[in-house]
Structures are given as structure tokens and as C-alpha cells.
Amino acid sequence: MAKSELFGKDLICSQDWRRPELDEILELAKKMKEKRFSPEYTSLLKDRTFFMFFYNPSVRTRQSFECAATELGGHAQFLEPKTMRLKTAKSAGETTEDAAKVMSRYACGLGIRILEDKISAYGQGDALLREYAKYASIPVVSMAHDKFHPCQGLADIMGIEEHLGEDLKGKKILITWAHGALARSLCSVQEAALLASRYGMDVTIAHPEGYDLDAEVMDVVGKNCAENGAKFEITNDVKEGYRGAHVVYSRNWMSPNAYHGGEFHKQEEIEKALRYTDWICDAEKMKLSENALFTHPMPIDRGHEVTDEVASGPRSIIYDVAENRLHVQKAIMALTMSEKLNK
């Protein structure tokens, strides 16, 4: 394999990367999926360690990153910041600069996962990742933070391409808010919108009034669509966005008022969201679409975000996308961290 220009590059948001760089990840991920245990790939991170900072727990993220490191011949080390002596606003400890520089002497890469309930204001998670990236000499990869989730977004696009073909221009994705009991961060849906718009899809965002996504991110999505001759719409109608959709992505997300007084008010968000019972993806709404695929980053709040009939139906690609997390992450780690691949 030829040397990649991605070696040493951070991945905090897909928008930070050029389209050819994203294509390179997807191309390798598809090859790795086809030839999963090929000797071509199984020693790319031999004797190398990937650090995983989990401020928040996970199911797929930890499993997929650990499997990815193992299948590349390396090791993923699970770390919980609460068990480490790191400086915070309320406690003394090692600074981000010192931690990043020391870890760079040990590992080949650093993943960080920090979501809504581990910060006191929107944007703090993104700022933390970028601070680590500033001081680390190894690649820093977002494993999901409050603003973006690039690994999930790339897995989404990979799954959509597998079912609709690699030319996604003229295809429409509906990203719709759904009521639920989890008060989720914006990262997955914002990343889905950014990548769908980069890959030429028409993008419709649907949500009740008061559940706007990040205005700056939505401006970028609009510009991406304009550059690709695609449509970008935002609607507050619970059904209208389904019309003409080829992909439906139904997920709960918090409101812009979730943080106040320096705290995340989860219970308030849940109680408010559960009032919007019409905002669920069901078979009736899916009939308005163009026989759309259904996708979701998981875990799914079944019965709130989507009905079982849709989530487990013949047009659901949720498990394909979940599997693609493994292959996308293997490709990211190989291209950004493998010395063997980049000699």
C-alpha cells in the first residue's frame, strides 16, 4: 500500500478533512470489510497501543475500537479519566498539556469520548479534544463528543453507499428529531448532516420548534449542499420531510436550553421531549418516503425514536452501519497511526 498523507492527522470532525481524504478512509474500510483478517492488515499496528479515554461509557464504541486495534495487531488500552489525576475546574492534577505530551511518548494514538453529562456547557467537549490535539504529537480521534462523531458519520455514509450506490447525488436523507428518554447530544446527527451534504445528498432536518441544531454547523451543511447542487431544508412538520426521502435517520437530541446554571439538566430535557409523542418514526410515516432505508447510530430508544416494526424491518440498515464502525475505525487507525503503512 502506498504512503498516505493522513499519517499523524487528527480526526475531530469530518469537516476538517478534504473530501479525497474521507474517500481514502472509506475505500480502505471497504477493502478491510471484504478481506477482514487478511495478512495485509493484521500487523499494521503490531506492538502499538491506542489509548481510549472514556469520560462516558459505551457499547459499540469500546467494542469496535478494541476489536479494530486487535485486528490490526495492536492493543487498545481502556482509560477512565475519573481514575486518573487530571486537572479539572474543581480539582488539582496534571494539565492537558502534560498529559498529552506524556501519552504521546507511550502510544500511537489517542481516542476521547466525552458527551453531554460530563460537561457544563455545549462546546466544552470539542474544546477539550482540540486542546489535546494541540499538545499531542500522536493523532487524536473523537470517539464521540458533544459536537461531532466522525467515526459514526463515516460508518453511516459507508452503509448508505452499500445500499444505494456510491453516487449519492439526487438522494435525499431526512434527519428527524424523535421523542425519547435519553436527552442525547447533537454529535451523531450533526456529523450525519455534514457528511451527507459533503457526499451530494439532499438534506432535510426536521424537528419541533425549540430543538434547533447548532446554527454554525447548519450553515456549513447548507454551504456543502450548495457546493454540490443539493437541496437543504429545515422543517418543523413531523411528516413533510419523509416525502421523497431515500434514507430516514430518526433520533432524539437535546434542546439548546439543556445547559443552564453551569449544569446539564437531563431530567428536564427528558420530561419535555416525552410530550412530543407524534415525533416517532413509524410505518405510516415511512410510507410517505421513497421506500427509504432506516438508519440510527444506536442505542435505539425503541418505542420512542422508532417503532420495532421499522427498526427491525427489511429496510433497516442499523446493524450494517454498526458493523461498519469497526471497519471505518480500522481504516482511520491504519492510515493515521501505522508506521508500517506509511514508510
Q: Which three cell numbers stand for residue 17?
A: 478533512
Task: Count CB neighbours of 312 within 10 A.
Answer: 14
The arithmetic mean of pLDDT across residues 294-322, rounded, is 98
Q: Could you read off the pLDDT of 110-125 as tens digits, one per residue?
A: 999 999 999 999 999 9
**Per-residue pLDDT, 65:** 98
Residue 1 pLDDT: 53
Residue with cell 453507499: 161
For 210-264, write each residue's pLDDT tens digit.
999 999 999 999 999 999 999 999 999 999 999 999 999 999 999 999 999 999 9
Residue 88, pLDDT > 80, answer no
- Residue 46: name the closest of 7, 72, 64 by CA: 72
CB 7 within 8 A of CB 303: no
pLDDT reported for residue 203: 98
Closest of 113, 132, 130, 21 to residue 61, by C-alpha: 113
Spatial CA neighbour of 88 closest among 56, 44, 119, 134: 119
- The 10 Å Cβ neighbour count of residue 25 is 28
Tell me the pairing of strands 293-295 and 263-264: unpaired
Strand partners, 295: 249
Residue indicated by cell numbers 477493502 = 31
* pLDDT (average), residues 70-77: 98
Q: Say if CB 274 and CB 312 are below 8 A apart.
A: no
Distance, CA of 41 to CA of 331 (rounded, Å): 10
Q: How confident is the model at residue 340 (pLDDT cuts 50, 70, 90)?
A: confident
The CA–CA distances, whole Å, from 91 to 53, 85, 180 equal: 18, 9, 34
Among 160, 154, 162, 134, CA closest to 68: 154
Residue 2 pLDDT greater than 90, yes or no: no
Q: What is the DSSP letter of 116?
A: G
pLDDT band at 91 (very low <50, low <70, confident <90, very high): low
Domains and CATH numbers, the chain: 14-148+325-337 (3.40.50.1370), 152-321 (3.40.50.1370)
- Using CB atoms within 10 A of its CB, is residue 261 exposed (0-12), middle (13-18) or buried (19+)? exposed
Q: What average pLDDT does the chain have?
A: 96
pLDDT digits (tens, 9 = 90+) for 154-211: 999 999 999 999 999 999 999 999 999 999 999 999 999 999 999 999 999 999 999 9
User: Model-level pTM greater than 0.85?
Assistant: yes
Confidence bin at 87 (pLDDT 50/70/90):
low
